[in-house]
Amino acid sequence: MALTTSDIKNGMVLDLDGKLVQIVEFQHVKPGKGPAFVRSKVRNVRTGAVVEKTFRAGEKIERVMIDKREMQYLYRDGDDYVFMDNATYDQMHVSRTALGDAGSYLVEGSAAVLQMNGDEIVGTDLPAAVELTVSDTEPGIQGDRVSGATKPATLETGLVVNVPLFVNVGDRLRIDTRSGEYITRA
């Protein structure tokens, strides 16, 4: 779908020279001298790299429609993750690289929204926080109550996060999916 720079909005996905990019932020600039332009920051959907891009005012741009599908994560099959489409019940094998960091927060039965461009997965929407069980960490020492001290803990998905000293193996923790940090015990 062809648009002009005056139609740009945050979150919009564009096709720039064969690369899919998402608008992170933009600003219309009209200097006192010279033509107007749009200064923007765009994130490459496939690599995650953020770059600055300047468009001339009125320049034609190509918008890409992204289909968001609600999926349920079923199980791992080798290196692939198997998802079920909640609408059609079709199963889809997704590689770890296509999921990116989202694979570290998925446990069997959890929900995710996969952003699709045709048959290609270009992004994953997860809940803001997930609950995961601690599978390995050093035991807390009685009386060791240093304020703000942390230790590494390995969670059931293999994700390693820094947690307070009182967290033990088997505890359920809330983890922020945007930053990968410990929030609280569940």
Residue 158: which domain range? 129-185
Separation CA 152–CA 137 (nearest Å): 7
Mean pLDDT of 37-43: 89
Last residue in a domain, options 22, 37, 63: 63
Given phi > 0 = left and psi -120 to 50 = alpha, else beta, which region is 109? left
* Interacting residues of 158 by C-beta distance below 8 A, sequence separation 6+: 104
What local confidence, expressed as pLDDT, does residue 72 receive? Answer: 92
Q: How confident is the model at residue 117 (pLDDT cuts 50, 70, 90)?
A: confident
Residues 11 and 23 in one domain: yes
What pLDDT does residue 144 have?
60
More confident residue, 142 or 185: 185
Number of Cβ atoms within 10 Å of the Cβ of 66: 16
CATH of the domain at 87: 2.40.50.140
In this structure, the answer to whether residues 135 and 121 fall within a common structural domain is: no
pLDDT over 70 (residue 147)? no
Question: What mean pLDDT do residues 120-128 have?
Answer: 82
Q: Are 112 and 83 in contact (CB under 8 A)?
A: yes
Note whether 7 and 59 are same-domain residues: yes
Selection from 177, 176, 185 nearest residue 134 by Cα: 185
d(CA 23, CA 43): 7
Q: Are residues 86 and 135 in the same domain?
A: no
With 70 as the cut, is the pLDDT of residue 101 above it? yes
Domain end residue (candidates: 16, 48, 63): 63
Residues 121 and 168 in one domain: no
Same domain, 41 and 74: no
Same domain (yes/no): 14, 38: yes
Indicate the residue type of 108: E
When pLDDT is cut at 50, 70 and 90, the band that residue 23 belongs to is confident
Nearest in space to 23 (alpha carbons), one of 7, 8, 5, 1: 8
State whether 55 and 75 are in the same domain.
no
DSSP 129-140: EEEEEEEEEPPP
Instruction: Count up the domains in the chain and report the number.
Output: 3
Whole-angstrom CA distances from 141 to 22, 136, 145, 166, 170 are 47, 15, 9, 8, 17
Given a cut of 80, is residue 100 above it in pLDDT?
A: no
CA distance 176 to 4: 37
pTM of the model: 0.69
Of 125, 12, 129, nearest in space to 70 by CA: 125
Identify the residue with better confidence: 64 or 147: 64
Together in a domain, 51 and 22: yes
Residue 161 CB coordination number (10 Å) = 22
Choosing from 10, 30, 63, the residue where a domain stops is 63
What distance, in Å, lies between the first and last C-alpha atoms of the chain?
45
